[in-house]
Amino acid sequence: MTDFTTDAPIVRERHAPPRREFYAYFAIIFLAALPLALLTWALGAARRMELPEKGPVSRAWTQARIITPHIFSA
């Protein structure tokens, strides 16, 4: 009988991160956030009578960068 308690072989499976799935979710979230970011950007510009520092694409991109990793960490 073999005793594996002292010299147990360490088997490590390397899983590649799901890049295609991540990018697919990122694109979907980005496209969903874009209209809302455009609306808030336009309302902010109308309220202050000047263009905000971040554009609507940058805001949507930031939101997608924040939300997508939360999906994969759950």
* 25 class by beta-carbon count within 10 Å (0-12 exposed, 13-18 middle, 19+ buried): middle
Looking at residue 14, what is its pLDDT? 63
Looking at residue 8, what is its pLDDT? 61
Sorted by where each begins, the domain ranges of the chain are: 19-73
SS3 35: helix
List, run by run, the mean pLDDT of 10-residue segments along the chain (74 residues): 62 70 95 96 92 91 94 82
Query: CA dihedral in degrees (17, 66, 35, 52; nearest 10)?
Result: -140
Tokens of 72: 């994969």
Looking at residue 22, what is its pLDDT? 92
